[in-house]
Amino acid sequence: MGWEYGIKVADVKDIKALMERLAEALPRIEGYRMQRDEDGFVLLQNNSDWPEALQISVEEARNIEGLEDDEPYIYCLFHIGGGDAMRLREGMCRALEEEKCTADWFEL
């Protein structure tokens, strides 16, 4: 249900800064607001029965190909699809391309 991606970051110390950059890079789309917490952020839809649109958090790998167990990675769950989800993902992809750290998208 939804799109699930991971972002593997070569140097774990870059994760917090990259999370901040991803939050800043999201395009501003009317009808959405961001809620931050210590492990990441959630993009919420205003006036919706299912408010979560996008969840970004730092997780530890468990049985994920290409990652060691307990290795931290950035988890991305898109609860929505369509044009808004595509714009959000494209904004995040551009932010990763601009960063100096090595980070790679993978599908879950």
Q: What is the pTM of this model?
A: 0.90
DSSP character string of the chain: --EEEEEEESSGGGHHHHHHHHHHHSPP-TTEEEEEETTEEEEEETT-SS-EEEEEEEEE-SS-TTS-TT-EEEEEEES--HHHHHHHHHHHHHHHHH-SS-EEEEE-
Residues 35-57 have a mean pLDDT of: 91
Radius of gyration of the chain (CA): 13
Q: Which residue has the higher pLDDT, 75 or 38?
A: 75
Residues 26-44 have a mean pLDDT of: 90
User: Confidence class of residue 1 from pLDDT cuts 50, 70 and 90?
Assistant: low
Residues 103-108 have a mean pLDDT of: 90
pLDDT for position 50:
84
- Asked if residue 41 lies in contact with residue 56, where contact means CB atoms within 8 angstroms, the answer is yes
